[in-house]
């Protein structure tokens, strides 16, 4: 399973990238706003750092304007995936941009039918938002499972990019279901390393080691 980092914070991306944990990056208008950076500048810096796909989102809502914005974003670097919303206009933009050989990430997906349309429009990635479905008492992980079945039934090559990941358990479950990619905030990826029994066991080892009076170096 590939790990994308859901942030526009350069330092956080760099830290995870050094450990080989970054297969790509996803951004959106809210994350750009949080970064306080210029979209073109920060996206270029991310692309210089990370060789995998870097999603940059259009903000137009009408297909022709989305296509124009998508082309401009794609000029930033070869690894840009143009992100478009799952609207009818977004699907039109997806069809045109993917037809030009560009990677397209169709975002704000909340149903299996939306995912089916994105695949037929040539999306490289479909981004179902797990956490936001859970927020309204729907089952985000069930949507990932449904899309996996549908794509496998028909051999669609669109990658399932599970987004709006809020917990480490979301990541475990996505891996079990067979999501191709998860995108998560840096803190959630780092939290995967934590376990209370690891902390407890380490504390015991350190206490016993101190009693030996030995040193390794
Ligand atoms: O990748 C989409 C993600 O940024 C949305 O996450 O937590 O705002 O629902 P969230």
pLDDT number for residue 196 = 98
Whether 34 is catalytic: no
CATH number at residue 201: 3.20.20.70
pLDDT number for residue 99 = 98
pLDDT number for residue 208 = 98
Q: Is residue 131 part of a domain?
A: yes
pLDDT number for residue 49 = 97
Do 107 and 84 form a contact (C-beta atoms < 8 A)?
yes
Locate the ligand 1 atom nearest the alpha carbon of residue 131 and give its number. Answer: 9
Binned average pLDDT, 10 residues per bin, the chain of 217 residues: 98 97 98 98 98 98 98 98 98 98 98 98 98 98 98 98 98 98 98 98 98 98
* 28 Cβ closer than 6 Å to some ligand 1 atom: yes
Q: Is residue 170 part of a domain?
A: yes
Q: Minimal CA–CA distance to 15: which of 204, 203, 186? A: 186
Q: Is residue 40 part of a domain?
A: yes
Q: Whose CA is nearest to atom 1 of ligand 1?
A: 163
Q: Which residues contact 77 (CB under 8 A, 6 or more apart)?
A: 43, 44, 47, 48, 54
Q: Secondary structure of 110-136 in the HEC alphabet?
A: CCHHHHHHHHHCCCCEEEEEHHHHHHC
Q: Is residue 126 part of a domain?
A: yes
pLDDT number for residue 187 = 98
pLDDT number for residue 160 = 99
Q: Is residue 201 part of a domain?
A: yes
pLDDT number for residue 6 = 98
pLDDT number for residue 162 = 98
Q: Whose CA is nearest to atom 3 of ligand 1?
A: 164
Q: Is residue 84 part of a domain?
A: yes
Can you give the residue range of the structural domain that contains 35? Answer: 2-212
Structural domain count of the chain: 1
pLDDT number for residue 191 = 98
Q: Whose CA is nearest to atom 8 of ligand 1?
A: 164
Do 5 and 12 form a contact (C-beta atoms < 8 A)?
yes
Task: Give all strands (DSSP E) within 24-148, no chain letters.
Answer: 24-26, 54-57, 80-85, 103-109, 125-128
Calculate how far, in angstroms, residue 62's C-alpha sits from the geometric centre of ligand 1: 23
* 124 Cβ closer than 6 Å to some ligand 1 atom: no
Task: Name the pTM for this structure.
Answer: 0.96
Q: Is residue 49 part of a domain?
A: yes
Q: Is residue 217 part of a domain?
A: no
């Amino acid at each position: 399973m590939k790990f994308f980092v859901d942030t526009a914070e350069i330092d956080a991306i760099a830290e995870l990238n050094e450990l080989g944990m970054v297969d790509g990056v996803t951004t959106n208008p809210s994350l750009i706003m949080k970064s306080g950076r210029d979209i073109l500048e920060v996206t270029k810096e991310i692309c210089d750092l990370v060789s995998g796909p870097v999603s940059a989102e259009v903000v137009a809502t009408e297909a022709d304007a989305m296509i124009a914005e998508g082309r401009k974003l794609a000029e930033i670097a070869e690894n840009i995936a143009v992100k478009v919303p799952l609207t009818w206009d977004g699907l039109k933009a997806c069809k045109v941009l993917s037809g030009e050989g560009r990677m397209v990430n169709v975002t704000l997906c909340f149903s299996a039918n939306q995912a089916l349309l994105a695949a037929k429009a040539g999306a490289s990635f479909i981004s179902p938002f797990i956490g936001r479905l859970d927020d309204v008492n729907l089952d985000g992980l069930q949507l990932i499972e449904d899309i996996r079945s549908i794509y496998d039934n028909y051999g669609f090559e669109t990658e399932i990019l599970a987004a709006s990941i809020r917990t480490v358990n979301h990541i475990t479950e996505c891996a079990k279901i067979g999501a191709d990619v998860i995108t998560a905030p840096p803190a959630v990826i780092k939290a995967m390393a934590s376990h209370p029994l690891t902390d407890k066991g380490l504390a015991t080892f350190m206490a016993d080691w101190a009693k030996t009076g030995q040193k390794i170096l």
